[in-house]
């Protein structure tokens, strides 16, 4: 059982690393951004509420995302563990999540905080191409698909997310600073935070995360 949260600004590599670890450990990647984008694409009531805010680079209301996560955690696959990517993003979400976990008798092992300077974030996001079907992120320089513009997993044509436009990226980085950055203090106070240098190749960053997880094996659970 491995229960991890990936924390970090847009473009830090949360989705990339959560995707790798999900395959490695065979536990689900729960990405609130991916779930919301699917709801928007399917035109569900949730998607209709979220679309305008997402396109503008603003956070959607806490109640909506809390509900999504509570439902995803009940899923059979999530009983083996979870890799949360993009949640929680506000203190209200973090406290709601603590209550959810207490109700379910589960706990967080670590909060992996990916640290990347802002100019690198902007460079990564301005080149990001995303699969509209499986949501895998690519980048022509660091993480190219095998065939340009085509997803390796399902052959779909890659798209540029509307919120990866430069003005939306600025808005999202501001939302992160104003509402999400405070969560590193929240989890540090609980002894769960592990800062990981997010600069380097995806393989190098993955290696650093795996080193943190190996510590768990040698030191025992972070939060017994
Ligand atoms: P997040 O989920 O934190 O927003 P992503 O995983 O989608 O971040 O990564 C943002 C962009 O940066 C994507 O285009 C991705 O391919 C690329 N990327 C991810 N990790 C790295 C890395 N270690 N070095 C360079 N580019 C990366
Ligand atoms: P990134 O990490 O690349 O910024 P995500 O895919 O995690 O992007 O999120 C995209 C958008 O989805 C966010 O800008 C926001 O509008 C919405 N979103 C995702 N997760 C949350 C969340 N936990 N709380 C509020 N809004 C969210």
Residue 145: inside a domain, yes or no?
A: no
CATH number for the domain harbouring residue 208: 3.40.50.300
Sort residue 200 into left (φ over 0), alpha (ψ -120 to 50) or beta.
left
Residue 167: inside a domain, yes or no?
A: no
In this predicted model, what pLDDT tens digit does every residue of 152-202 receive, in sequence order?
Answer: 999 999 999 999 998 999 999 999 999 999 999 999 999 999 999 999 999
Whether the pTM exceeds 0.85: the reply is yes
Residue 115, ligand 1, Cβ within 6 A: no
Residue 162: inside a domain, yes or no?
A: no
Exposed/middle/buried for residue 54 (C-beta within 10 Å: 0-12, 13-18, 19+)? buried
- Rounded Cα–Cα distance for residues 163 and 58 (Å): 9
Contact 17, 210 (CB under 8 A): no
Residue 200: inside a domain, yes or no?
A: yes
- The DSSP result for 23-58, as a single string, is HHHT--EEEHHHHHHHHHHHT-HHHHHHHHHHHTT-
Domain that holds residue 116: 2-120+191-219
**Which residues make Cβ contacts (< 8 Å) with residue 139, sequence separation at least 6?**
124, 127, 128, 129
Residue 140: inside a domain, yes or no?
A: no
**Residue 29: both structure tokens together:** 């990647």
Catalytic residue among 37, 168, 172, 194: 172
The dihedral sign for the CA sequence 118, 205, 18, 67? negative
Residue 31: inside a domain, yes or no?
A: yes
Number of domains in the chain: 1
223 phi and psi, to 5 degrees? -145, 70
Residues near ligand 2 (Cβ within 6 A)? 10, 14, 32-33, 36, 53-54, 57-60, 65, 86-87, 89, 93, 163, 172
Residue 201: inside a domain, yes or no?
A: yes
Contact 18, 85 (CB under 8 A): yes
- The ligand with the least distance to the CA atom of 206 is 1
Residue 205: inside a domain, yes or no?
A: yes
The reply to whether 172 belongs to the active site is yes
pLDDT-based confidence at residue 219 (cuts at 50, 70, 90): low
Residue 28, ligand 1, Cβ within 6 A: no
- The atom number, within ligand 1, closest to the CA of 201 reads 23
In this predicted model, what pLDDT tens digit does every residue of 25-80 receive, in sequence order?
Answer: 999 999 999 999 999 999 999 999 999 999 999 999 999 999 999 999 999 999 99
The reply to whether 106 belongs to the active site is no
């Amino acid at each position: 059982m491995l229960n991890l949260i990936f924390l970090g600004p847009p473009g830090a590599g949360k989705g990339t690393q959560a995707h790798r670890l999900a395959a490695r450990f065979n536990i689900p990647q729960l990405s609130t951004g991916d779930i919301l984008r699917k709801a928007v694409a399917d035109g569900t009531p949730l998607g209709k509420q979220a679309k305008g805010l997402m396109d503008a680079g603003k956070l959607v209301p806490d109640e909506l995302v809390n509900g999504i996560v509570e439902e995803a955690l009940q899923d059979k696959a999530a009983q083996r563990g979870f890799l949360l990517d993009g949640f929680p993003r506000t203190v209200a979400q973090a406290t709601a999540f603590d209550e959810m976990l207490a109700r379910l008798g589960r706990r967080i092992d670590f909060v992996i905080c990916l640290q990347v300077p802002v100019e690198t974030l902007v460079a990564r996001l301005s080149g990001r191409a995303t699969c509209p079907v499986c949501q895998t992120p690519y980048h022509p320089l660091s993480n190219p698909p095998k065939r340009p513009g085509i997803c390796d997993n399902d052959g779909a044509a890659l798209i540029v997310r509307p919120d990866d436009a430069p003005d939306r990226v600025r808005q999202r980085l501001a939302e992160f600073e104003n509402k999400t950055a405070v969560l590193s203090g929240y989890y540090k106070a609980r002894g769960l935070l592990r800062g990981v240098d997010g600069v380097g190749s995806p393989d190098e960053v993955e290696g650093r995360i795996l080193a943190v997880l190996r510590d768990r094996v040698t030191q025992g659970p972070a939060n017994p």
